[in-house]
Amino acid sequence: MGVDLKTIPASHAYIVASEDEILRNETALLLARSFLCEKGRALCGICPGCRRALAGTHPDLVTIERKTDDKGKVKRDISIEQIRQMVTDAWARPQEADRKVYIVKDAQLLNTAAQNAALKILEEPPAFDVFILCAESAEALLATIRSRCVVVRAGGERAVLQDEAAEEYLKLAAVGDRAGICLFMGKCEGFDSERLGTFLESLRAALSDVLCGRKKIPGLSGSEAVRLLALCDRAGEYLRLNVGPKHALGMLCALK
Ligand SMILES: [Zn+2]
């Protein structure tokens, strides 16, 4: 991805900054998983911690985002109540993981009062908490908040994130993890054709790397890589024929 997790200093609070909303949210999720993956910072993609984080069902991963009103319209900002609730909740111990991770999306929309409410917990958080604030820029947040956080600039291209996703898919396919693949595909369901196209390109590149020995995916044999490459081509063909991303994704669920 655009940011190398290993180079990010350990902290209890981060600002993931990018004007690209998808990029910053996905980077935040990767960072969150680095605290929830049961194989340490490996982001294995297959342990229960990774899987639940990806599926959005991890009890120790809490996402704070704009709510929708009665008419289904997304509200303009995140309320101070939501932040107060987070602060209260943050004192309760994690349920399954060692850490409890809070992702605040669109933190640039927090007003001063809400930011000050967040500051309380950022200043003296329990040792098990991690806070990840996603914002268009770090400067959109109060200096007092910034001084408590490690700023991660999610630069680079979305394509790089797709490389991570491709590798994750291959790890699951290699061990024939049907449930894992389904969860993974669920996460990709919102992809439009363009994003899915980039994902397929990353997948194809990773498979060629496996075939010529540049990359190793545990359990992924050469013949399986060839089969997956054919699946990729067929999914790509579906996309070109405008069959719709969902069908193309469905192709990739076909395990041997
Ligand atoms: Zn994991």
Given phi > 0 = left and psi -120 to 50 = alpha, else beta, which region is 72?
left
pLDDT by residue (tens digit) across 181-191? Answer: 888 887 777 77
Contact present, 129 and 62 (Cβ < 8 Å): no
Ligand 1 center from residue 161 Cα (angstroms): 17
Dmax over Cα atoms in the chain, in whole Å? 58
Low-confidence ranges of the chain (pLDDT < 50): 1
pLDDT computed for residue 1 by the predictor: 45
CATH class for domain 5-153? alpha beta
Smallest CA-to-CA distance from 1 within 157, 136, 201 is with 157
pLDDT computed for residue 158 by the predictor: 62
d(CA 205, CA 107): 35
β-strand partners of 64: 104
pLDDT computed for residue 140 by the predictor: 94
pLDDT by residue (tens digit) across 149-171? Answer: 999 988 765 666 677 788 888 98
Ligand 1 center from residue 45 Cα (angstroms): 5
pLDDT computed for residue 256 by the predictor: 60
Ligand 1 center from residue 42 Cα (angstroms): 6
